Homo-oligomer: A and B are copies of this chain.
Amino acid sequence: MANLLRAATWGLFSWRGYCSRGTQGRLSAGFVEALKAIVGSPHVSTAAVVREQHGHDESMHMCQPPDAVVWPQNVEQVSQLAALCYGQGVPIIPFGTGSGLEGGVCAVQGGVCVNLIRMGRILELNPEDFSVVVEPGVTRKALNTHLRDCGLWFPVDPGADASLCGMAATGASGTNSVRYGTMRDNVLNLEVVLPGGRQLHTAGRGRRFWKSAAGYNLTGLFVGSEGTLGLITAATLRLHPVPEATVAATCAFPTVQAAVDSTVHILQAAVPVARIEFLDEVMMDACNRHSKLNCSVAPTLFLEFHGSEQALAEQVQRTEEIIRHNGGSHFSWAKEAEERSRLWAARHNAWYASLALRPGCKGYSTDVCVPISRLSEILVQTKEDLEAWRLTGTIVGHVGDGNFHCILLVDPEDPEELLRVQAFAEQLGRRALALHGTCTGEHGIGLGKRQLLLEEVGVVGMETMRQLKATLDPRGLMNPGKVL
């Protein structure tokens, strides 16, 4: 009964483990045999526990398990799986590390979950071309470990140790994007299995050039398509030189406005800051407790600079001038790797630090992004809204991009609070839209923001997206119910 109430109040939202269907899949025995014939028996499961593990991501969206989970080991198997499923009218849901935040892997119509994690090879490393080709099982951290000795790295860092192909599918970004760009900027080519099973190389097979004006930008169309247009089976990524030196810093501000103004001035001064993250005083309090920091409980910027020793000295000096001019204080500089790691670990653990503020609660993260001139305004308003809605929430953001997250803490046993969280999140989305912003900077639309997407891009935009979807997936079987 409590479960039903929850599902009812939240619509698609609920907690993991409360499944919308029974524990039996709906696929015929013959179909499951056909799956096994393609990938091998050990790589197919219809066990309830496995299906439930694959029916949710890290978000609060209700677990909606697929009818079967398969683990292909190469692209030919993915093609055969897609052809089989498409021919039989069975939905296909791509799955990577399951670290998404918008319910992108929920099997809202059942179907076959294609877990790509056993395709885990780094297919090709071309250090002299600053590029690498990875399969979906390769995560961000695994790639950077592999690259350790070649002087290059892949900078896009959404926090989670996600699959790089999954990051491409989501259009992920994160803390380094202010300097190095998002996945949209760092994917050179994708191998995609289209719904019917055909293999597409978005920039042409084996191509790894840096720029092109050759026809429609198919790579750009598939980056951020959230598995609704095809299965990404390999990604060619652009690598960057490892910085010669790195300096990290934190500093405290009297107001949110002062922190944001500093950010704008740093960007205007063309200081090539690598990371510039905002944490509000509630978040700082949580970080102090959780990560044993001793920072001021005040609006705070976490910064990082990459460059030569000499360049860093100048960047640091300029930044300090700008920040002091805006009333910032309590600088804490970290140059050694260990110190920096401690600082950034605190930032990366912001999610868990937030959860620890109200033990037993679940977290929900908003993800709006606005033009930087409106950032201060929406941050202040968001803090007022939190109070008005009687919600506990921390704020942490990639302010150099205009993107921030409000991590809301929700008691899963309190359906009325769930309603307030949902209302708050929608209000925040609409506030961002009213300020020329977007409802999602990096988490994607998934299940919960489809109405906001319509409001964001308008009727013609939405219809254009629907036309593209219908063209590439005429039967509507690729990750159905997401984005549109």
> Which residues of chain B are within 8 angstroms of A308 by Cβ–Cβ distance?
314, 318
User: Is the CB of A87 closer than 8 A to any CB of chain B?
Assistant: no
Chain B residue at smallest Cβ distance from A443: B213
A residues 345-392 in Cβ contact with B at 8 Å? 367, 369-373
Chain B residue at smallest Cβ distance from A467: B471
Chain B residue at smallest Cβ distance from A189: B436
User: Is the CB of A201 closer than 8 A to any CB of chain B?
Assistant: yes
Decide yes or no: A468 and B471 within 8 Å by CB, A211-B401, A268-B151, A401-B210 being known contacts.
Answer: yes
> Which residues of chain B are within 8 angstroms of A267 by Cβ–Cβ distance?
130, 241
User: Is the CB of A37 closer than 8 A to any CB of chain B?
Assistant: no
Q: Select A436's contact among B173, B209, B243, B467, beta carbons within 8 Å.
A: B209
B221:A221 contact, CB within 8 angstroms = yes
Distance in angstroms from A319 CB to nearest chain B CB is 12
A residues 11-37 in Cβ contact with B at 8 Å? none
Task: State in angstroms the CA–CA spacing of A205 and B459 once bound together.
Answer: 11
A residues 195-224 in Cβ contact with B at 8 Å? 198-218, 220-221, 223-224
Tell me how many chains of this kind the complex includes: 2
Contact digits for A169-210, partner B, Cβ 8 Å, 1 yes 0 no: 011110001000110110000000010001111111111111
Q: Select A264's contact among B128, B214, B215, beta carbons within 8 Å.
A: B128
Q: Select A370's contact among B209, B216, B221, B456, beta carbons within 8 Å.
A: B209
Task: State in angstroms the CA–CA spacing of A184 and B214 once bound together.
Answer: 12
Decide yes or no: A210 and B264 within 8 Å by CB, A218-B465, A221-B216, A310-B314 being known contacts.
Answer: no
A residues 210-247 in Cβ contact with B at 8 Å? 210-218, 220-221, 223-225, 229, 240-241, 243-244
A residues 134-183 in Cβ contact with B at 8 Å? 151, 170-173, 177, 181-182
Chain B residue at smallest Cβ distance from A188: B371
User: Is the CB of A307 closer than 8 A to any CB of chain B?
Assistant: yes
Distance in angstroms from A103 CB to nearest chain B CB is 14
Task: State in angstroms the CA–CA spacing of A484 and B216 once bound together.
Answer: 10
Decide yes or no: A460 and B216 within 8 Å by CB, A369-B210, A441-B209 being known contacts.
Answer: no
Task: State in angstroms the CA–CA spacing of A205 and B460 once bound together.
Answer: 10
B215:A403 contact, CB within 8 angstroms = no
User: Is the CB of A115 closer than 8 A to any CB of chain B?
Assistant: no
A457:B220 contact, CB within 8 angstroms = no
Decide yes or no: A467 and B472 within 8 Å by CB, A267-B241, A370-B209, A371-B209 being known contacts.
Answer: yes
Task: State in angstroms the CA–CA spacing of A371 and B238 once bound together.
Answer: 11
Chain B residue at smallest Cβ distance from A177: B211
B468:A216 contact, CB within 8 angstroms = yes
Contact digits for A428-444, partner B, Cβ 8 Å, 1 yes 0 no: 00000100111111111
A residues 443-480 in Cβ contact with B at 8 Å? 443-445, 449, 453, 456-458, 460-462, 464-465, 467-472
Chain B residue at smallest Cβ distance from A244: B270
